[in-house]
Amino acid sequence: MYASEFIPASLMRNGLAHHRDLLKLDAKVEIFPKQDESGEWAVGNGIKLPCHGALKDNVKFLEQHLIKTDEFSKPIEFFRGFAVEKKFLTESVKDLKEKDKEYSTKDIIKALKNKDEFPGKGGTWDNWITLLIAKLVGVGKTDKEILTQCLKLKHEDHTEEETRSDVQTKLNRAREKFKVNDSDEVRKRFTEQVIYLLDQCKYFDVKKNKLYKPDAIKISWSAKMGVADATTFFKNSRSTIEAEDFIYDPIKYDPNNPLIKQSELLFINKYKPHSLEAIEGDISLFTTLMDHLFTDESAKEFILDYITILIQQPGVKCRFAPIIQSSEFQIGKGSLWRCIKLMLGENAQKVDVKEALDKAKDFLQSRQIVLIDEMKSSGKWEEREEILNEFKLFITEEEQSQRKLFVDYKAITTCTNFMFFTNFKNALTLPENEQRYWVYFCDVPRLNQTFYKDFHKWLDGEGKNHLLHYFRNRIISEGFDPKDVAPKSPNLIDMSKQAQRPLMAELEDRFNEMLPPFQDFRDLIPTTWLMAWCKKNKIKVSRPNDLFPILERLGGVNIGQCEMTKARSGGGISKHKLTMWVMRNHKKFDGKSNRETGQIWMDDYLSVDDGINLFDDAISNSNYKDRGNH
């Protein structure tokens, strides 16, 4: 810009700033001169003028430029028209605090009361009040506080209503440019959005559905609220909410209120339905996958019914769980789970056995269904029994115990359902009459890789939406009852037999073939003696009680403790009690007392040298003598 006469630098700066804004240039674009005024005889910044070097290189260009300069030069009155307020609204709050930092709010208020001219820009009210509003916004003052302060400093020529309107306009503009909301609104949102959990001494953000420690809340909210410490504000406020702990209850879900009252106590319902939209469409690839995995039609319908319950009746706890096994790897079990996961979102989780047995059991209060993937115990009887018994409780009981790290045990309510995937037929030791597990062996090969590629591409597109629509509208089979025992399982007996190998298989084969220790003359078997026999023949048995279900499966009848006597090698009589099983010729022992039956076994034991000295050697005496429960 050109002036036809010497003008104050401040007027030139105002004109340049005005045109910079008209051109929508960044606020950081530099303006020359850079200062409104300088000391006497001071020299400003040196810059290259538009015609720098023209005298040497292009005199004609310089002449043309000087003609235009003369045409476009403006008098001082022209520049005075831009002597308006200097807006800091394109700057960040941080920049604002740096700029004009020589003016505190007290300085500005004093200048307004004294009607001081605003340095370099002129005016006794507008520029000062704009700067004051900006600074008050920057330090987190509320709209109400700012309006109250500014009304006390209103311009003498303005009515209160005019001042209120002008201040509100400047205030709205400042908040929009600084991206700083009214602290009153933020505080209100804070008290509605943040809930304190008494049991955990932490804060829960309802909108984010996440738990935070006090320090995180302090850092995240304090500045936005315009307070020194958001947690202190929470403690002192009468409108904040406190709850005992979380509860996961899809049935009582209310999108407008996360709080649930139970026994006169408030809890937070952590359940949130997945936001996936149901769209009607083609699901032929899913149908192909199901037909491949479940060649048994009734098995396929069972799994479809199970998934339908999850989609249509969230919060209903099934009293049984499917176990799906395949000897071939990657045949599509994982693809089936991915369908469930994409339809349920965060309400579905995959864990391993170790996680599932952890005492914290977080998933019991945060998931609608849990997949135990690659289900397999180590083979130890103790672990198999722990897994079996633990998951029985998980599956059937709505009341569970939970213990997180450094926290006491507590009772919790759960609606979590379970599904198991494994590549091992002996994954669990299940009794043949088990009613909590539904077992299916997928004895099929892997399909062509092209199918799985197309399937997941479809699923990543709108396939998941189509599936959700299908399951929301699918009719559940008439005989499917989530509260009943598991329906007849195609492969339960097969898993039961497989899981008991090698001990079960070894003893069953010996019994059927009348090999030791089940020779044809052995109608009676004490568990203590059988334990010793297994040890001698290097057949691993952790404890005598592990033999009970095997002997029962072989047809044995436990008649309890049988007393017997034996002559001591050093003279005298010794008495013993052993838990006895009748394995064959059961009627032969009808009417006999346990003492008579025990003595029959003792006489046979003494007449056969099988290499087992059950009563005289030190190890046998210390481990087995008079242990009636064996």
Instruction: Tell me the pLDDT band of 118, cut-offs 50, 70 and 90.
Output: confident
User: Which of the two residues, 460 and 624, has the higher pLDDT score?
Assistant: 460
Q: Burial level of 33, CB count in 10 A (0-12/13-18/19+)? A: middle
Among residues 30, 51, 80, the one where a domain terminates is 80
User: Which of the two residues, 59 and 9, has the higher pLDDT score?
Assistant: 9
pLDDT at 89 over 50: no
pLDDT at 623 over 50: no
pLDDT at 341 over 50: yes
pLDDT at 80 over 90: no
Instruction: Tell me the pLDDT band of 552, cut-offs 50, 70 and 90.
Output: very high
User: What is the C-alpha end-to-end distance of the chain, expressed in Å?
Assistant: 107
Residue 419: CATH number of its domain = 3.40.50.300
What is the pLDDT at residue 28?
Answer: 66
pLDDT at 385 over 60: no
The answer to whether residues 325 and 470 belong to one domain is yes
Q: What's the mean pLDDT when you consider all of the chain?
A: 82
Q: Establish if 437 belongs to a structural domain.
A: yes
User: Which of the two residues, 457 and 120, has the higher pLDDT score?
Assistant: 457
Amino acid, single-letter form, for residue 363: F
Distance CA 564, CA 16 (A): 116
What is the pLDDT at residue 84?
Answer: 42
Q: Establish if 118 belongs to a structural domain.
A: yes
Distance CA 173, CA 164 (A): 14
User: What's the Cα-to-Cα distance from 301 to each of 283, 307, 371, 474, rounded to whole Å?
Assistant: 16, 10, 19, 11
What is the pLDDT at residue 620?
Answer: 36
- pLDDT tens sequence across 233-250: 999 998 999 999 989 999
What is the pLDDT at residue 368?
Answer: 95
Distance CA 577, CA 565 (A): 9
pLDDT at 628 over 80: no
How crowded is the C-beta side of 537, counted as CA atoms within 13 Å?
A: 17
What is the pLDDT at residue 174?
Answer: 87
Q: Which residues contact 574 (CB under 8 A, 6 or more apart)?
A: 565, 566, 567, 568, 615
What is the pLDDT at residue 591?
Answer: 93
The answer to whether residues 469 and 436 belong to one domain is yes
The answer to whether residues 405 and 482 belong to one domain is yes
The answer to whether residues 126 and 222 belong to one domain is no
Among residues 129, 146, 180, the one where a domain terminates is 180
Instruction: Tell me the pLDDT band of 121, cut-offs 50, 70 and 90.
Output: confident
The radius of gyration of the chain's CA atoms, rounded to the nearest angstrom, is 42
What is the pLDDT at residue 177?
Answer: 82
- pLDDT tens sequence across 179-208: 888 888 889 999 999 999 998 999 999 888
Tell me if 497 sits within 8 A of 426, measured CB to CB. no
Phi, psi of 384 (to 5 degrees): -60, -40
The answer to whether residues 128 and 104 belong to one domain is yes
Alpha-helical runs (H) found in 73-213: 76-80, 93-98, 105-114, 126-138, 143-151, 160-178, 183-193
Q: Establish if 629 belongs to a structural domain.
A: no
The answer to whether residues 28 and 123 belong to one domain is no
What is the pLDDT at residue 413?
Answer: 82
DSSP 140-175: T--HHHHHHHHHTT--TTS-HHHHHHHHHHHHHHHH
The answer to whether residues 202 and 322 belong to one domain is no
What is the pLDDT at residue 60?
Answer: 65
What is the pLDDT at residue 47?
Answer: 61
Q: What number is the average pLDDT over the span 144-169?
A: 90
Task: Calculate helix-pair angle for 464-473, 297-312, nearest 10 degrees.
Answer: 90
Q: Establish if 141 belongs to a structural domain.
A: yes
Largest Cα span, the chain: 141
pLDDT at 377 over 60: no
Q: Establish if 326 belongs to a structural domain.
A: yes
Tell me if 233 sits within 8 A of 249, measured CB to CB. no
Number of domains forming the structure of the chain: 5
The answer to whether residues 123 and 262 belong to one domain is no
Instruction: Tell me the pLDDT band of 615, cut-offs 50, 70 and 90.
Output: confident
- pLDDT tens sequence across 553-582: 899 999 999 999 988 877 788 889 999 999
Distance CA 280, CA 627 (A): 68
Q: Which residues contact 2 (CB under 8 A, 6 or more apart)?
A: 69, 72, 73, 74
Instruction: Tell me the pLDDT band of 42, cut-offs 50, 70 and 90.
Output: low
Given the structure tokens 């359902």, which residue do they identify? 417
Task: Calculate helix-pair angle for 449-458, 333-344, nearest 10 degrees.
Answer: 0
Instruction: Domain of residue 468: give its range.
Output: 284-495
What is the pLDDT at residue 39?
Answer: 56
SS3 assignment, position 33: coil
Instruction: Centre a 10 Å sphere on the Cβ of residue 242 and count the other Cβ atoms it contains.
Output: 10
pLDDT at 218 over 60: yes
Q: Which two structure tokens, joined as six digits, stand for 65? A: 């430029």
pLDDT at 393 over 60: yes
The answer to whether residues 189 and 173 belong to one domain is no
Q: Name residue 413's beta-bridge partners.
A: 399
Of 523, 506, 515, 491, the C-alpha closest to 603 is 523
Among residues 80, 105, 120, the one where a domain terminates is 80
User: Which of the two residues, 212 and 569, has the higher pLDDT score?
Assistant: 212
User: Which of the two residues, 208 and 282, has the higher pLDDT score?
Assistant: 282
Q: Establish if 630 belongs to a structural domain.
A: no
What is the pLDDT at residue 69?
Answer: 66
pLDDT at 379 over 90: no
Amino acid, single-letter form, for residue 137: V
SS3 assignment, position 443: coil
Q: Establish if 438 belongs to a structural domain.
A: yes
Q: Which helix (H) or strand (E) holds 355?
A: helix 353-357
Across 71-144, where does the E strand assignment appear?
A: none
pLDDT at 359 over 50: yes
Amino acid, single-letter form, for residue 483: K
Given the structure tokens 């597990």, which residue do they identify? 437
Q: What number is the average pLDDT over the span 59-82?
A: 66
CA dihedral 612, 616, 619, 620 (to 10 degrees): 60
Q: Name residue 350's beta-bridge partners.
A: 371
Q: Which residues contact 238 (CB under 8 A, 6 or more apart)?
A: none
User: Which of the two residues, 258 and 393, has the higher pLDDT score?
Assistant: 258
Instruction: Tell me the pLDDT band of 44, cut-offs 50, 70 and 90.
Output: low
The answer to whether residues 375 and 302 belong to one domain is yes
Q: What number is the average pLDDT over the span 174-180?
A: 83
SS3 assignment, position 261: strand
What is the pLDDT at residue 557?
Answer: 95
Range ranked top by mean pLDDT from 359-373, 410-424, 441-455, 567-581: 441-455
Q: Establish if 103 belongs to a structural domain.
A: yes
The answer to whether residues 311 and 215 belong to one domain is no
3-state helix, strand, coil in the chain (%, to 5): 45, 15, 40
pTM greater than the 0.75 cutoff:
no
Where b means 16+ CB within 10 Å and e means fewer, 204-238 reads bbbeeeeebebebbbebbbbbbbbeebbebbeeee
pLDDT at 457 over 90: yes
Given the structure tokens 């370099």, which residue do they identify? 120
The answer to whether residues 541 and 482 belong to one domain is no
Given the structure tokens 């073939």, which residue do they identify? 513
Q: Are strands 321-325 and 417-422 parallel, antiparallel or unpaired?
A: parallel
pLDDT at 164 over 50: yes
Q: Which two structure tokens, joined as six digits, stand for 310? A: 């999850």
Q: Which residues contact 309 (CB under 8 A, 6 or more apart)?
A: 316, 318, 476, 480, 482
